[in-house]
Structure 1
Amino acid sequence: MRCDHSEPEQNAETVGREAAAFALEIGAVRLSPEDPFTWASGYRMPIYNDNRLLMRYPRGRALVRAGFLGHSGLGEAGDIQGVAGTASAGIAPAAVLAEALGTDFYYVRSSVKGHGLARKIEGLSREEGLLAKPLAGRRILLVEDLISTGGSAVAAAEALLEAGADLVGCGAIFSYGFDEAPRAFSRLATPCPLWTIFDLECLLGVAAEQGGLSQEDMETIRRWRQDPFGWGEGR
């Protein structure tokens, strides 16, 4: 297993391909159209993703950091005054990016905490926690580890907007490319550009180059992407 500490090049497309290759190498993404995985939802799917494994290794963290820093969506955001990760898998990549940018870090819970200060956004000071709009005027980038239907990321975006944040976008490590995700983001009251370090098409291309995926397998996975929740029926 290659777990070197070298920094990848900063070109976003190059880093995306390197991230996809490394994710396949360490099993952070697994493709199995003939023997599908059962997701937590109970649906049978030909792909499984665990970006927490990607964040385990120095090489993985370096690729994630370079992928975010080199992405045009981040460059267009201007001065970012905070990075907010989704709980819980988005926390690690958000913290890595916030450190690289030298800016504040927050994370957004899936629901309001039921004890203590009963917050949904963590990282606020005591004084900020008393304000109706604690992030008013602050340019915040949302970071998610994985985009599927976009539901959890959109919920986090809504929480940041309610807190007054100027939401400059949402960056994620990986996306399945479901049509529902951009539709979900389009329903936000304020536009929030969505982009990823690598996506399913990039992943399939890298897997095919490595010889681990036949053309038939690629077409099977593309059919799954068109109807992910109907694809596994009868399997």
Structure 2
Amino acid sequence: MPTPKIVLITGASQGIGRACATAFLEAGHHVILAARGRDALETVAQHAPERAMVHPCDVANPDQVAALFAAIDDRFGRLDVVFNNAGIGMPATEIADISWEDWRRVASVNLDGAFLVARGAFAMMRAQQPKGGRIINNGSISAHAPRVGSVPYTTTKTAITGLTRSLSLDGRKHDIACGQIDIGNAASDMTDTISKGVPQADGSMRAEPVMDVTLVADAVLHMADLPLEANVQFMTIMATKMPYIGRG
């Protein structure tokens, strides 16, 4: 068994984040569970309460993110892995009909939140002894082949790729590795509409194939368990028959 790591997972209360948090706890790691809702986090923590730290946090709030990293430092004194996962979307909407409020709501979580968590993690990993660690960003295949009516989500997820590349470069001298996982059609309580029907580029509504979300958790766990001299820079994991290759 690999040496247990100190792992932070944002958006850990549901969907992909919950599946990953469960997998990391069951693999023997110490996991900081971060999301806005305490009750849902407490439920996830029951998989291994002795190794779970529940910390409610809005990743779009700089003060709350700073408090999160202060709490991690106080309890563990270091941080080995971050799964920068928290994110939200909105119903398919053409850009002319997207309000400023909806734009900012998506951008504040998906982009501002990802920046704040990455900044806090980088600072902690750079300062700790031995220094170094790994940041895994949750991107999206939408950044490569967007869905119709997805300007806020697609724009923010495209920016995550730039964040990943820049972190990888800045982190080299500090032994901080950064990779990205782009996920397509993982079945969860957040994506059940995909199997019922979503808008297609040709104007139709069609159900799409999905995959078990635990497969995503296994992939993230693999990325996290690598030694720091190796890195999965970009990984795409998706339902094999989803309309991604050839989307449009």
TM-score category by the smaller chain? 0.3 to 0.5
> Whose helix proportion is higher, 1 or 2?
2
The two structures have a TM-score, normalised by structure 2, of: 0.37
